[in-house]
């Protein structure tokens, strides 16, 4: 189940949660974040390679490429057995921005995006079938959980891919982790 919780930035335990997909998308649209659901164009299995995954969502990918000029697309996956999962998690947990969109479509699994906009923090739980497009220069962080299990399609307007500019703000440490957030729903 997708979810959105709006928190005052200085009160990480006093949020208002939305579970209705349309309400989540509407709230996020107000800050320029695209949130939608995709359906596969064809069948594929969890063991299929990246090319098969991209083919399954080709029409949705092509639509975004045409609309925003994305230049590169890839598939990233991470599971609990990954030897660098802890280091990767820590890297994404630090508040940062990008000069490019951060676009993720969850083919499998889930992840928790936190968007820090003004005096609000938006916690967005994304699950299988969800696409989130965070505008360039939006301050945010991401938690994949202690035992990550996700596969995502990523789209970029540049060939450089994921390049972060870290803010140095420790705000992420005050908010629930993915595991805590899911347990509270």
Report how far apart, in Å, the C-alpha atoms of 83 and of each of 77, 89, 132, 149 are: 13, 12, 27, 13
For the chain, what is the HEC assignment?
Answer: CCEEEEEECCCCCCCEEECCHHHHHHHHHCCCCEEEECCCCCCCCCCCCHHHHHHHCHHHHHHHHHHHCCCEEEEEEEECCCCCHHHHHHHHHCCEECCCCEEEEEEEEEEEEEEEECCEEEEEEEECCEEEEECCCCEEEEECCCCCEEEEEEEECCCCCCCCEECCCHHHHHCCCHHHHHHHC
- Annotated ligand binding at 98? The verdict is yes
- Annotated ligand binding at 116? The verdict is no
> Rounded to whole angstroms, how far apart are CA atoms 101 and 94?
17
- Annotated ligand binding at 67? The verdict is no
- Annotated ligand binding at 96? The verdict is yes
Binding residues for Fe(2+): 96, 98, 102, 140
Binding residues: 96, 98, 102, 140
Binding residues for Ni(2+): 96, 98, 102, 140
């Amino acid at each position: 189940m997708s979810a959105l919780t709006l928190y005052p930035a200085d009160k990480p335990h006093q949020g208002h949660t939305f579970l209705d997909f349309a309400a989540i998308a509407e709230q996020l649209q107000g800050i320029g974040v695209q949130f939608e659901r995709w359906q596969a164009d064809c069948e594929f299995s969890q063991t299929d390679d990246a090319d098969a995954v991209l083919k399954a969502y080709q029409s949705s990918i092509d639509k975004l490429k045409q609309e925003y000029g994305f230049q590169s697309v890839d598939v990233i996956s991470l599971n609990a057995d990954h030897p660098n999962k802890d280091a990767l998690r820590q890297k994404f947990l630090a508040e940062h921005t990008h000069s490019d969109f951060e676009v993720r479509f969850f083919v499998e699994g889930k992840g928790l995006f936190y968007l820090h906009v003004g005096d609000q923090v938006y916690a967005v739980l994304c699950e299988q079938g969800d696409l989130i497009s965070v505008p360039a220069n939006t301050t945010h962080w991401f938690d994949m959980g202690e035992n990550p299990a996700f596969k995502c399609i990523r789209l970029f307007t540049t060939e450089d891919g994921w390049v972060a500019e870290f803010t140095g703000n420790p705000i992420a440490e005050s908010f629930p982790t993915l595991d805590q957030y899911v347990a509270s729903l």
